[in-house]
Amino acid sequence: MTGSILRVGELRPNQLLHTYGVGSVADMPNLSVMVCGLDEWDRNGSREVPEARLLAAVRAKLRAPVEKLLTPPYTPETADPFDEWTRVGVPVTLFPRWLRCTNTKCGLLAPVETGVFELVTHPFSPDRIRYVHGCRGRGGGRPTAVPARFVLACAQGHLDDFPWLFFAHYGSVPEYSGHTLTLDEQGTTGDAASLWVRCSCGVPPRSMAQAIGEKMTPNLPRCRGRHPHLRSAQFAGCGEETRTLGLGATNSWFGMQLSAFTLPQADAEVDQRVAELWETLEVVADLPEDRGKKLMTRLACWGELEQYGVDEVWKAVQRRAESSGDDDQGDESDLMTPEWNAFTDPQPVRLPDFTTEKERPPVGTERWLEEVVLVTRLRKVSALYGFTRIDAPEWGEDAGDGGFAPISITRPTWVPCAEMRGEGIFLRFRDDELAAWEQCEDVRRRCEQLRAGHDRWRAQRRLEPGHWPGARYLLLHTFAHALIREFALESGYSAAGIGERIYAGTDTQPMAGVLLYTAAPDSEGTLGGLVTLGRRDRLGTLIEQALDAARLCSSDPLCAERDPREHGHLYGSACHACLFASETSCERGNHYLDRALLVDTVSDLGIGFLAAP
């Protein structure tokens, strides 16, 4: 907040990545604030999370010297309200800056800089911090001033206060002062058509319905290129068409994240921990033993290694140093191939953050299902590196194209991350069966239709052609969504709590697998309910039920007969009634789905990979 540091509310650390990340607007009880860029964050209270693969991928994506992954700073629940911990948190700034008096007889609309609204604070109750207006409403009290309901955004990720004066005067800014605006609501519907902006100069009032639309209305200005979360770099000169968004609209912020699973790097537990913390421990590897041990115990990561003893850790450091020169780093941005190799390893793994167990495929699935791997323990780390507005991120786009808004003014040396633990089921398909299916003429014809819709979708957004994921990806993705719905009915987890990871592969790296998992931010993760469904005696029945449900949609025949070419859709036979999942589950935003590639539908194309015999 301007002028002083005030505690205005509370958020869970994970929300600062998935819901209220940098550049997003968070609604507090009486305020609306925007999370500031990383340049203003105080890292006291943050914890470094070791995950070398993810760190390398973030560096490659941002093309920046990112050195650390840090959890958002947080205040412990047991902190004394008078303690210094109460100063720890994420910086925010008031946004939007225009406020409206809630007194129905007043309705004054003005920016906070005018001084007509007074900030009322409370030292130990953030929920009671608010702005008030001195007009004396019902009962003689000062009415609360609430944030204006509309903001202005563009597809380049900029966000700005709605131009109230400009809009009220039909596309021009008055040359003299003394204009007082009010926002009146007529009726009880609360929609934009019932809101009218009035000015004291006598210009005809204007309905907010005239500001709502897909594109910039004639009397809205072009984008000024403002990033309110980067307060010292607000105006960059954009000139794009603007769009009016309601405050709190779901398309006002889409976080861009990379995530990786912690993979085994050694057989012994102490060697695994040393490998995970190697970027910190590497500095002691070449020192003499006595000096190296002494310095090692003073490193920030020693608390995670102390249980193994100094001698055992030192031996593990030496083993790691001897083998590190032989490591093949490969493509730093490729997170999928190392995970695929770990899940398909013939030998089970027993490590604290990665434990696998082989399970035989269910009866009747041997033709197409090669193996089932129960992942009883896994650790997932996600990092936020940017965001978009209006349209969700375009998957497969190169970060160098600048297709997202930055989270800091300078090139970041760290990014916020979240650490979660859980469990999952990995299903590996038979590559030879999939390859033969991909060559079928009818399958190719269907994929041509889907690809035409994909090309049209990209053309409508002025994106370069390409980035088609292929028939294999669509099949695996559709199968994952069908199984997520069935698992949610049996496991006790909600469908929103089950995530997916699709391993579709390429010509040079053939992969064909699906990981369905659930994870939680606490230290233990989840309790095994999902893994139980992967047992041979249960998985076969669940797959059959999922395929039966996918054959018929309550929106058929409209769903089954949808032609993706007509409107440029990224999906074929799929909708909310049959396949769509929550945004927390799907890695592609419910795109690239088609029941016709998985099973026979009422359109009877006969190309489903798992169609009934």
Mapped to the 3 state alphabet, what secondary structure does 69-105 carry? EECCCCCCCCCCCCCHHHHCCCCEEECCCEEEECCCC
- Region 286-314: mean pLDDT is 88
Q: Could you tell me if 420 and 520 are in contact, meaning their C-beta atoms sit under 8 angstroms apart?
A: yes
Structure-derived torsion over alpha carbons of residues 275, 509, 418, 304, reported in degrees to the nearest 10: -10
Give alpha helix (H) positions in 109-200. 164-168
Q: Is residue 1 over pLDDT 50?
A: no
**40-44, 481-485, 507-511, 589-593: range with lowest mean pLDDT:** 507-511
Token duo for residue 33: 């604030």
Name the band, by pLDDT with cuts 50, 70 and 90, for residue 390: confident
Cα 179–chain centre separation: 42
Sign of CA dihedral 310, 315, 316, 321: positive
3-class DSSP state for residue 144? Answer: strand
Which among 515, 439, 446, 443 is positioned nearest to 484, based on CA atoms?
A: 515
Task: Let me know if 145 is exposed, middle or buried by CB neighbors in 10 A (0-12, 13-18, 19+).
Answer: buried
25 — phi, psi (to 5°)? -105, 125
Maximum distance among all alpha carbons in the chain? 84
pTM of full prediction above 0.75: yes
**80-84, 556-560, 591-595, 600-604: range with lowest mean pLDDT:** 80-84
Q: Could you tell me if 182 and 108 are in contact, meaning their C-beta atoms sit under 8 angstroms apart?
A: yes
pLDDT digits (tens, 9 = 90+) for 468-477: 999 999 999 9
Give all strands of the β-sheet with 150-153 in edge-to-edge order: 159-161, 150-153, 243-246
Distances (CA, A) of 75 to 44, 46, 78, 86: 10, 10, 8, 7
Beta strands in 499-546 (DSSP E): 499-505, 510-520
Residue entry with tokens 């409508």: 460
Q: Could you tell me if 480 and 500 are in contact, meaning their C-beta atoms sit under 8 angstroms apart?
A: yes
- Region 388-414: mean pLDDT is 74
What does the pLDDT read at residue 413? Answer: 93
Euclidean distance between the first and final Cα of the chain, in Å? Answer: 65
Q: Could you tell me if 305 and 313 are in contact, meaning their C-beta atoms sit under 8 angstroms apart?
A: yes
Q: Is residue 533 over pLDDT 90?
A: yes
pLDDT digits (tens, 9 = 90+) for 97-133: 999 998 888 989 999 999 999 998 876 677 778 899 9
Gap between the Cα atoms of 591 and 156, Å rounded: 22
Name the band, by pLDDT with cuts 50, 70 and 90, for residue 217: low
Cβ count within 10 A of residue 237: 7
